[in-house]
Amino acid sequence: MIELVQVPYSPFCIVQRRILEFAGTKFKLINIPNPDRSLVWKLTRRRYYEVPVLKDGRNVIFETSPDSQVIGKYLDSKFGMGLFPADMEGVQSIIWRYIESEIEGRGFKLNDAYYEENVPRGEHLGFIRHKERKFGRGCLARWREQQEQLLAELTELLLPFEEMVTHRPFLIDQRPRFVDFDLFGMLENFLYSGHYSLPSRYAQLIEWHRRIGSITIQSFQ
């Protein structure tokens, strides 16, 4: 059975989890503590420490660069979901870069501002240290103070997606492609704390979010 090694609130893990649900396959989630990557290190034979990592029998799959989509493409070819059609390749890579930098960059800070509620107490030290080493001392409190500004930025950055789904059911097509799952993962991370909702003025995006969060491949076969 496929196993997904994840941190439950990680945006990049949510993308792959949702793709697995969409595929309708049985899979097992293995949650690891954010600060302890020893399982990932072991599974990847000391080549990787990020999440997610996918284990499919003897195959262990993980990303090779910040913009690779190795796991997504592996699952797509295994389950024939049509997430990466050749004629959409360039367009999708431009869109996922925007999603994984601009959208993710605001969403995770807004969610992390509530880390005390989301992250188990025993992991607080590792979590704070990890964030502060990357983003500077006091970054978590700063993100809480910057909440309004970050929310305003996120809302503006989401406008193109509202426009895209006003004219079709999914971002770039009549059926879901990889970028739909990618945006879903970043938004679920933003929404994880339960303190936010999608901007109410984006009625089409709210509908799309409901759709992409519930459909399975069967509806498209």
Ligand X SMILES: N[C@@H](CCC(=O)N[C@@H](CS)C(=O)NCC(=O)O)C(=O)O
> Could you list the residues that contact ligand X (CB under 6 A)?
10-12, 49-52, 63, 66, 130
Interacting residues of 33 by C-beta distance below 8 A, sequence separation 6+: 7, 120, 122, 123, 126
**The pair of three-digit structure tokens given for residue 53, joined into one six-digit string:** 């990592």
Choice between 69 and 165, CB closer to ligand X: 69
Return the residue matching tokens 């890579």. Answer: 93
Choice between 5 and 162, CB closer to ligand X: 5
Give least dist CB 11 to ligand X, A.
6
Residue 72 near residue 19, CB atoms below 8 Å: yes
Give least dist CB 130 to ligand X, A.
6
Closest residue by beta carbon to ligand X: 50
Separation of alpha carbons 154 and 148, rounded Å: 10
Give least dist CB 12 to ligand X, A.
4
Choice between 42 and 201, CB closer to ligand X: 42
Choice between 143 and 202, CB closer to ligand X: 143
Give least dist CB 160 to ligand X, A.
21
Give least dist CB 61 to ligand X, A.
10
Cα dihedral angle (66, 70, 76, 77), rounded to 10 degrees?
A: 150
Question: 30 exposed, middle or buried (CB, 10 Å; 0-12, 13-18, 19+)?
Answer: middle
The one-letter amino acid code at 199 reads P
Choice between 10 and 92, CB closer to ligand X: 10
Choice between 12 and 202, CB closer to ligand X: 12
In angstroms, how far is CA 4 from the centroid of its own chain? 13
Give least dist CB 163 to ligand X, A.
25
199 preceded by cis ω (within 30°)? Answer: no
